[in-house]
A and B are shown apart, each in its own frame.
Chain A
Amino acid sequence: MTIEAEPERDRLRPRISQTGETGRLDLAMPPPEVTLPALQPGRSRSPFAVAMAGFGILALTVFAIDLVQFVDGAFAHGTGLGVATVVAVAAACGGAVYWLMAELRGLWRLRSTERLRSLIPSALSSELKNEVNAAAIVLGRDPLLGVAVGRYRAILEPHHSGRDTLELFSRFVLAPADRLAEAAIRRAAAQAFAINAISPTALLDTLLFAARALRLVREIAEVYGQRPGLAGTVHLIRRLAGGAGLVGAVDLAGGLLVQQLGGAVVERLSAGAAESTYAAQKMARLGIIAMALCRPVEFGPGEAPSLRRLVTGLLRPHVAENQVCPDQTSSSRSSGE
């Protein structure tokens, strides 16, 4: 509403000024970038995070002092024992640091996704472009999505607005990622069907189903570039539980409870095949919810996969994978099974 807010005398009039540059503009399309620019998150720290960091430093210091004393004690028993202890401690510390880094990386990716989603409704064009760019960098590290991200970056031009960038990202990167996620859901649904069909007890069925569901959530998170570690998985499950208002999650929890406590009743009420189909359907619904939670951009109208499409596609999961990146036929995603 610029016109009412700014009186005519204060409004800037059209103006032309000279630059030192000469020659026609060259607006040829740039080649796709090979090296991706570094991210600049630039976020403020919360008091809780600062306090936790302080406690963490304290705990680390105490732990380090203990270690030094432990190593010192080992050296007191002999040089050989001391050296062996140092090597063992170094290996343990290295492993711990590696694990910690992986966890932090996974958590950072999750936060990055969540930040993008929260920004979309109100972000300025430049902010949105930065966040989408960050999400593209994360997804570009996936071997199967690398080509899709490369294409997206090749067509992106400076004049594209934040919304344009988001739409292109959705079309060129997220649509292929969705197909990968759908393929993962189909695999999981097929396995849930099999587990339910062959499981001798309801308890075992429940445990296997829960384990497979957990892996599906992690697979989907990975598809969207999140690669959650332990902390990331806990965070995801928490969000999934938080989103239990979503009918599917409630249904899932209810279904698990019924299987756990009232297996006999269920057995009487439904035939085995029907129950297996129901299990596959539950797995698919869980997968759709996980997709909705992990996707960096919320589904637009008509974009979310329907249960029917997923279940009917159970017989052709390989098609979905091949469609992800037609140019990259040799690579394939490790299913981890």
Chain B
Amino acid sequence: MRALYNPPTLTALMRNRTVRLAVTGLSQSGKTAFITSLVHNLLGAVGRPGRLPFLRATAERRILAARLLASARDVLPQFPLKSTIAALAADPPQWPSSTTDLRRARLLLRFSPRGLLGRGNPIGRALGSVAELTIEILDYPGEWLLDLPLLRQSYADWSHTTIGLARHGVRHPLARDWLDYLARHPADGAADSETARRAHDLYQTFLSACRAQEQLSLLQPGRFLNPGHMPDASVLWFCPLAFPVGGRPRSGSLAALMEARFETYKRTVVEPFFALLARDVDRQIVLIDILRTLNAGEAAFADQRLTIDAILAAFRFGRRSLLRRLFGARIDRVLFAATKADHVPAVQRDHLEALIANLVEAPTLRARQAHAQVAATALASIRCTQDGTDVIDNRKVDVVIGLPEGGERRIRFFPGIVPVLPPPSGFWGERFTAFPVFQPPRISDAAGDGIPHINLDKVLDFLLEDALA
């Protein structure tokens, strides 16, 4: 609190900074767990720096204090760190439930800079030698990200793409009821609110089935699956319709009604969310649950890849500079993380890292061309397993051991062989959907011991190293 009343030191004037971190990830990719672990471990970094050995600032013991910031003026609710940690520490523990609305976490780190401004240097001591870094992180339902690509699409384009997808592959059997209904109610028929509502409901059921049964990702609009707080739910009552290519909806038709609602949805729901998400963002971490889709089959895997490419196309990358800050912020560091790395044994984590790096080749190239720094890693925000071995088909294999949710006895889990490249057609065998959910390890709800993780410190070092230097 002293800093509030004392004039800022020269070090503070030169080095105080706010980093806005965009945590990007589809539903169930582990965003809330990531934010919880990040904040809790940083809060404990002063007393127990050993939890984050790869974060240089903690390894060098330059982080002097950490605390959560709560602002009454913030329009967004605060991230519920205490209750999330309490749920994880409870016996039996509970994973945080899916995020249903926007929340923000703000963390203040007081640290001693390196070099001339640091405590080890007489100049640094004369100038104050302490700076502050504020980290702002936004938590939101992952489904909402799926709406970002809509901003660049017209209703006709979106309808054409979505219906094309629904008529092929694993989506087709699930879309039958909805497509049949559309066949009975053509796009150029008279606008009828009840018909639109019914078509919307069938489409929503189709999207839910795609997610539950096929673990698909490209399910738009995201608010159909997780609406959050919507003052007027009627804005959601639309769905794609079969259009002739290049056609325009006739005035007064069902298609015109759907198009109007689609545009209203984009304007009143998607654009404000994107503005909040992407405004002044400096850093981005993209969390991808690659293991789940790898075991869910070829369609789920391809769909996830398509979704990530589409979402990332909405973000702007580039080197940080004063001019760019004046004319629109850019993301200058992007990290792609394959989550749930604790579900594979250590020997396969390198595979996981290589696979994620290969999967995001296109956005990586785009970010690098814009001179942003890009990296890929395997990550477990909360490590729930330990490594072990098992014998399968007379072969000794490395496995992970953990306590499954709802179980009493620990299990050995062999996750299959993680390929290092996006798998070709011959790779895909029988689907494995019984992916275990492990209980978190024993966690103390005091900030002292932190939360066990894999590579969270490397992630933080990549994202914050220059801000804490």
Contact = CB atoms under 8 A, between A and B. Distances in A.
B409 A12 contact: no
Interface string A4-34: 1011100111111111111111111100000
Contact of A22 (B59, B393, B408): B408
Interface of A: 1-4, 6-8, 11-29, 125, 151, 154-155, 157-159, 161, 164, 167-168, 171-172, 319, 323, 326
Given A12-B417, A18-B409, A125-B346, 7 more contacts: A7-B426, A8-B427, A13-B430, A15-B390, A18-B410, A20-B409, A27-B441
Contacts of A154: 50
A10 to B, nearest CB: 9
Contact of A14 (B295, B351, B408, B449): B295
Contact of A3 (B53, B427, B442, B444): B427
B439 A24 contact: yes
Interface stretch (B160-168, B315-323, B396-404): B396-404
B347 interface: yes
Interface stretch (B28-36, B269-277, B379-387): B379-387
A12 B416 contact: yes
A157 B452 CA distance: 10
B401 A19 contact: yes
25 contacts: A2-B417, A2-B418, A12-B392, A12-B397, A13-B416, A14-B295, A15-B390, A16-B411, A16-B412, A16-B413, A16-B414, A19-B409, A21-B401, A22-B408, A24-B441, A24-B442, A25-B410, A26-B442, A27-B383, A27-B441, A28-B442, A29-B48, A155-B50, A158-B387, A159-B346
Nearest to B438: A25
Given A2-B419, A172-B53, A22 B410 contact: yes
Contact of B351 (A2, A16, A29): A2
A4 B392 CA distance: 21
Interface residues of B, number: 66
Contacts of B436: 16
Nearest to A124: B347
Nearest to B385: A25
B33 to A, nearest CB: 15
Nearest to A164: B54
Contacts of A158: 386-387
Given A27-B452, A154-B50, A161-B349, A16 B434 contact: yes
Contacts of B347: 125
B403 A3 contact: no
A22 B410 CA distance: 5
Contacts of A171: 53, 56, 59
B395 A12 contact: yes
Contacts of B401: 19, 21, 25
A74 B56 CA distance: 69
Contacts of B53: 155, 168, 171-172
A323 B61 CA distance: 12
Contacts of B386: 25, 27, 158-159
B415 interface: yes
A151 B58 CA distance: 12
A158 to B, nearest CB: 7
Contacts of A1: 420-421
Contacts of A157: 452
Output the residue of A4, A14, A20 with the most chain B CB within 10 A.
Answer: A14
Which 3 residue pairs of A and B lie closest in terms of their CB atoms, listed nearest first? A27-B452, A155-B53, A155-B50
